[in-house]
Structure 1
Amino acid sequence: MERFTLGQAQQSGCPDEPEHRRLRRALGRWPTGVAIATCGRVGEQMAGLTINSFASVSLDPPLVLWSLARTASVAPAFKAAPFFAINVLEAGQEALARRFAEREDRFAGLPLERGLEDLPLIPEAIAVFECRRTAVHPGGDHWILLGEVMRVTTRPGRALAFHEGMFRELP
């Protein structure tokens, strides 16, 4: 067993501090789903990135949230966009998750569906939540985006998961 107290590193803002690395490893013990957040309009300015910080907030009204690193290149686009979509990836879509985590030309050559407000949607996603952004809150080194779900689309399939730094398929 390992137990540690967060102290000075918590306020330092330096992600390379030993305490931050240990915290990141501990947080990695919590398995999450993998999704791609998208905003903008198909064929115009679009932004997207891979996320695993997605959660339901409320059923009435239907609200979801996700977090976005303040340093992400797409942060200004998502903070300004009145609408966004969360595209939940299926097991086997690791390459798509990596594409939206690592590349700058994330949408190049990718077939897209058009959602409400012309949102770019990932056609192979097993669940898509099309949302109207209702709030953006500061959360440490991240922004917390809250959205009201306007439309949901689901397809059969099992979700792609992320656990201890690796993509995984749920049984």
Structure 2
Amino acid sequence: MSEMRIEAAKFRDVLGHYPTGVCVLTAMGTTGKPVGMVVGSFSSVSLDPPLVGFFPAVSSSTWPLIEKAGHFCVNVLASDQTDLCRQIAGPGDKFAGVEFSISDHQLPVLAGAVASIECKLESVTPAGDHFLVLGRVLRLEAYRQTDPMLFFRGQYGTFASRSA
């Protein structure tokens, strides 16, 4: 059986039917200012050792800054943080007016996040037009009992539970 050529638009459309959580990865840049990027490809990987993973694009201008830092914080966004998500994802000063604290690991932790997961960079593996990044979890904390932000079919949304 020969491989079928998959069109990029169809790939995005079909995989857009799978909802993902939305996180902001933060780190301290070499200038001492925070850097951050939005990812929808975050996942737990291993309990022993505790590892998480995500897939930044090779073309990302922010990923090299986080990689160079060697440590990062995964901030799980809440459904009411759409404006923050759009600001971090957009151009300009991503942290203008953004509330955050600095953790014991010297990582920016966003105010209002559902949870934070602080990591040391474990490995970076090329994966097509992305990298597979693994982080070893150093500290993690849940802050809010609220719905997480989800990305589904090109839109931000929230979780709706079904009654039995």
TM-score (ref. length: structure 1): 0.86
Cα deviation, residue 104, structure 1: 2.6
Aligned to 1:169: 158
Moved more, 25-34 or 94-103: 94-103
When the two structures are aligned, how many residues end up with a matched partner?
157
1:59 counterpart (44, 47, 70):
47
How many Å apart are 1:58 and its aligned residue? 0.3
CA distance, structure 2, for counterparts of residue 85 and residue 35 of structure 1: 10
- How far is 1:41 from its partner? 5.8
Q: Quote the residue 2:69 is aligned against.
A: 81
Is the 1:135–1:146 Cα contact (8 Å) retained in structure 2?
Answer: yes
1:140 maps to amino acid: G
Q: Percent identity?
A: 34
Q: Give the root-mean-square deviation of aligned CA atoms.
A: 1.7
> What is the rounded CA distance, in whole Å, between the counterparts of 2:66 and 2:133 in structure 1?
9
Structure (1/2) with the larger helix percentage: 1
Given that residues 90 and 126 in structure 1 are in contact (C-alpha distance below 8 angstroms), is that contact kept between their aligned partners in structure 2?
yes
Q: Report the counterpart of residue 154 of structure 1 in structure 2.
A: 142
Counterpart for residue 16 of structure 1 = none
Structure 1 stretches of at least 4 aligned residues deviating more than 2 Å after TM superposition: none
Structure 1: unaligned runs, 5 residues or longer: 11-18
Given that 1:92 and 1:160 are in contact with CA atoms closer than 8 Å, whether structure 2 keeps it comes out as: yes
The answer on whether the counterparts of 2:29 and 2:66 sit within 8 Å (CA) in structure 1 is no
Q: Which residue of 2 aligns with 1:110?
A: 98
Matches within 5 A, 1:134-153: 134-153=122-141
Which amino acid is the alignment partner of residue 106 of structure 1?
Answer: K
In the superposition, the TM-score normalised over structure 2's length comes to 0.90
Shift of 1:157: 1.2
5 Å-filtered alignment, 1:41-52, equals: 44-52=32-40
2:131 partner amino acid: W
